[in-house]
């Protein structure tokens, strides 16, 4: 698993969101979402932004550029 996938999984679990819930929000299958967390696939730009907004975390955090998951507004 890569840093993106591990932070994605950690953030989802910290918010008590199931794979099924986030997959439904993104209009994809649970397996497709799990592929993001395992690093087998990577979301496109629009989906990436939707994931970050849904989880309330910054893209910099997802990509390992910062240890702070908060979004600067």
Spatial separation of the C-alpha atoms in residues 58 and 49, rounded to whole Å: 9
How many whole angstroms separate alpha carbon 21 and alpha carbon 12? Answer: 10
What's the pLDDT band for 73 if we cut at 50, 70, 90? low
> pTM of the full predicted structure?
0.89
Kindly list the structural domains of the chain, giving each domain's residue range(s) and its CATH number in brackets, ordered by start: 3-62 (1.10.260.40)
pLDDT tens digit string along 43-57?
Answer: 999 999 999 999 999
The owner of tokens 């979402």 is 33
User: What are the tens digits of pLDDT across the range 20-48?
Assistant: 999 999 999 999 999 999 999 999 999 99
15 in Cβ contact with 55 (< 8 Å): yes
Reply yes or no on whether the pLDDT at 1 is more than 80.
no
Nearest alpha-carbon partner for 64 in 12, 19, 2, 1: 2
């Amino acid at each position: 698993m890569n840093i993106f996938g591990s932070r994605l999984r950690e953030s989802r679990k910290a918010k008590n969101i199931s794979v099924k819930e986030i997959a439904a929000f993104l209009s994809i299958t649970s397996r497709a979402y799990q592929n993001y967390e395992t690093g087998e696939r990577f979301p496109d730009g629009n989906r990436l932004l939707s994931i970050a907004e849904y989880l309330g975390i910054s893209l910099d955090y997802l990509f390992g550029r910062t240890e702070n998951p908060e979004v600067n507004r």
